[in-house]
Chains A and B, each alone.
Chain A
Amino acid sequence: MAKKSKLNPAKAAAAALNAAAAPPTIRNSVWSNNNTACVNTWFCLSAQALGQIDASFDDAETLTMHELACWNDLASPDNREIEAATLADILTKLFTNMLGARYEAGQNYASAVVAMTLVLTDAKKTVCELAAVVDELHCFTTER
């Protein structure tokens, strides 16, 4: 009688194919409490600030835009876009007015709102990816 394989084919296939198809790491999207953009993004979105996420710094990394308090599945894409742009507007204002950030060379208020809105309207993007874009747009005081 043939010996039964202990391998769960479903799990093995998932693991193998997932590993084979794993995307390359996006540059600069490392979640760290040493990274000012990550800390600022988490802090500004947190419960007592803008009230978008109720999670610890560590847990916030993998939260998706779909899990933000403002994400409304039922809304039209236009409604989601204006709500995301409103959040992007206040985020960049907090970064520049309260936390002393300047815009990176070639970036400005308009590009910051447009770029963050694009991330905020993508259900699958994570807070970590949002922080990476925030980092590309803003030059924080710790980076000068």
Chain B
Amino acid sequence: MKSSTPFPSVRIAFAAVLSGLALFSNVPSAPAQATTNNILANLDPARVLRAVGEKGVFDSLAQPLVQRILQTTHTNALLGFLNDWNLRPKFFHAADGVSDDAVLGLEYHYQKSIASRVLDDSWKNPMGVSLAFEARGDVAVEAQKNPNNLLETSLELHLFQGIGGIDPTYSNSDAAKAEFQHELMQNVLDKEFASGRGKAYNAMARRLTEHMAPQFFWDLQGHATLEADQQFHDRQWAYGGKLAFAFREWRAHSTAGWFNVLDYPFAALRWLVEKEDFQPSGRVFPSVVLGLDLVDGSDNDARIAIDPDTDAFPRGRAELAFKTRALRWQERPLYFSAAYRYFQEFSASRAIQSADLDRSEYFVMRMDLPYRFNLSFATGKLPLDQDNDEVYAIGWALNF
């Protein structure tokens, strides 16, 4: 559907709001900032508004401004910023890449750790507990053009543990650890060491990693989540739990890496093109998330239109993610990334099954190409999507 609001006018109106807020936010500031305000006063507002359309200007305006508005004086401690809202203005682009279809929006993420405890500090692999509140999603000026139209607000209880990582039989005296730290602080003053090159750097890195061991990290979480599209037309409560885990072998050359079959094609590519040793990486085993949710679909209009039964239903999900370095191009790593998400409703009614709403899966992969281009492929749908898309795309990465 075409936009009913002309895109440039939305952008300029937002810029005007930003400019106004920028001036307002500096009124009570220290005298040192008065000069900056004078510069602003001498600028032609029309020029300022025109400038917002220039590449990079919007970004340089929006980010610091949002940070200034949200960063109140009480956030002095570094950990304080973790309690803040994380807002990021951004442009959403339609999958077809037509610039007229771009729409202004806001990405938000708020996470507050309410409490965190360690079950027993004396354990070699301590187990942690944390209670957290989280809200995240993307909101676009025009909801129809929001490519990620899913807002999630949840309360979460985590139980987590990292097993391994450091050889459990390894122990060193406090004096030896302090000596290692002292040596590192001395070495970093050397230019070659600080560039991450040279014998001294390699030797210290080897000493740091020689007592590392395979690491298995797991996180068991219980949560209550409100899932909705941004207009809250379709919304549902999800209760449940999830188990997420990742396995890592951080050493560059490891036996465990040979079990990472997904990395074999890329290890072969690195071996053929970059003349590296053929060694699948233990650092890039896919991470796995398994979830079981009880979903309340009573506010999901699209679902009720098919099946009037508004009872909560159980839904399982499995999510995998994988990323590895394929090659380097002019010192820059080119990565292959992939993700797979699968959702399955259990005991779905015949009507829901017929409408193919009981199951959804989504797969996406991308290969980085030189000069920030990339080649990507996506297929499938997410739970609140109605359509099953299959999209091949050539893209260009721009940090915005």
Please indicate the chain B residues that have their CB under 8 angstroms from the CB of A122 in the complex: 86, 109
Please indicate the chain A residues that have their CB under 8 angstroms from the CB of B219 in the complex: 81-82, 85
Q: Is the CB of B113 within 8 A of A142?
A: no
What are the interface flags for B314-336 relative to A under an 8 Å C-beta threshold, 1 for contact and 0 otherwise? 00000111110100000001010
Of chain A, the residue at the smallest CB distance from B70 is A23
Please indicate the chain B residues that have their CB under 8 angstroms from the CB of A142 in the complex: 181-182, 185
Q: Is the CB of A133 within 8 A of B208?
A: no
Rounded to whole angstroms, the CA-CA distance of A1 and B116 in the bound complex is: 70
Rounded to whole angstroms, the CA-CA distance of A94 and B184 in the bound complex is: 14
What are the interface flags for A87-125 relative to B under an 8 Å C-beta threshold, 1 for contact and 0 otherwise? 001100110011110000000111101110011001010
Q: Is the CB of A76 within 8 A of B208?
A: no
Q: Is the CB of B196 within 8 A of A46?
A: yes
Q: Is the CB of B181 within 8 A of A99?
A: yes
> Does B396 make an interface contact (CB < 8 A)?
no
> Does B74 make an interface contact (CB < 8 A)?
no
Residues A120-140 near B (CB distance < 8 A) = 122, 124, 132-133, 135-137, 140
Most buried by A among B77, B160, B195: B160
Rounded to whole angstroms, the CA-CA distance of A81 and B320 in the bound complex is: 12
> Does B47 make an interface contact (CB < 8 A)?
yes
> Does B204 make an interface contact (CB < 8 A)?
yes
Contact of B252 among A24, A48, A75, A85 (CB under 8 A): A48
Of chain A, the residue at the smallest CB distance from B167 is A97
> Does B96 make an interface contact (CB < 8 A)?
no
Of chain A, the residue at the smallest CB distance from B201 is A48
Of chain A, the residue at the smallest CB distance from B290 is A78
Rounded to whole angstroms, the CA-CA distance of A75 and B39 in the bound complex is: 44
Rounded to whole angstroms, the CA-CA distance of A110 and B158 in the bound complex is: 10
Q: How far is the CB of A50 from chain B (nearest CB, A)?
A: 5
Q: Is the CB of A50 within 8 A of B250?
A: yes
Residues A1-42 near B (CB distance < 8 A) = 9-10, 12-14, 16-24, 26-29, 33-34, 36, 39-40, 42
A20 in contact with B22 given A9-B50, A13-B51, A89-B162 (CB within 8 Å)? yes
Rounded to whole angstroms, the CA-CA distance of A135 and B25 in the bound complex is: 30
Rounded to whole angstroms, the CA-CA distance of A138 and B60 in the bound complex is: 33
Q: How far is the CB of B173 from chain A (nearest CB, A)?
A: 9
Q: Is the CB of B36 within 8 A of A16?
A: yes
Please indicate the chain B residues that have their CB under 8 angstroms from the CB of A82 in the complex: 217, 219, 244-246, 287-289
Q: How far is the CB of B330 from chain A (nearest CB, A)?
A: 13
What are the interface flags for B73-86 relative to A under an 8 Å C-beta threshold, 1 for contact and 0 otherwise? 00011110110001
Of chain B, the residue at the smallest CB distance from A35 is B185
What are the interface flags for B31-66 relative to A under an 8 Å C-beta threshold, 1 for contact and 0 otherwise? 001001101100110011011101011001101110
Q: Is the CB of B325 within 8 A of A69?
A: yes
A110 in contact with B118 given A12-B43, A100-B178, A141-B178 (CB within 8 Å)? yes
Q: How far is the CB of A87 from chain B (nearest CB, A)?
A: 8
Rounded to whole angstroms, the CA-CA distance of A69 and B289 in the bound complex is: 20
Q: How far is the CB of A26 from chain B (nearest CB, A)?
A: 7
8 A-B residue pairs with Cβ-Cβ distance under 8 Å, sorted by A, are A14-B51, A16-B40, A20-B22, A76-B321, A100-B181, A110-B129, A114-B132, A137-B79
List 10 other contacts, CB 8 Å, given A12-B47, A82-B288. Answer: A17-B48, A18-B60, A20-B40, A40-B181, A69-B283, A69-B333, A98-B211, A99-B181, A132-B78, A137-B79
Interface residues of A (CB under 8 A from B): 9-10, 12-14, 16-24, 26-29, 33-34, 36, 39-40, 42-44, 46-51, 54-58, 66, 69-83, 85-86, 89-90, 93-94, 97-100, 108-111, 113-115, 118-119, 122, 124, 132-133, 135-137, 140-142
7 A-B pairs with least C-beta separation: A100-B177, A110-B128, A75-B321, A89-B162, A48-B205, A13-B51, A79-B321
Interface residues of B (CB under 8 A from A): 18-19, 22-23, 25-26, 33, 36-37, 39-40, 43-44, 47-48, 50-52, 54, 56-57, 60-61, 63-65, 67-68, 71, 76-79, 81-82, 86, 88, 109, 111, 113, 116-118, 121, 126, 128-130, 132, 136, 158, 160, 162, 165-166, 170, 172, 174, 177-178, 180-182, 184-185, 188-189, 194-196, 201-202, 204-206, 208-209, 211-212, 215, 217, 219, 242, 244-246, 248, 250, 252, 283, 287-289, 291, 319-323, 325, 333, 335, 337-339, 341, 364-366, 399
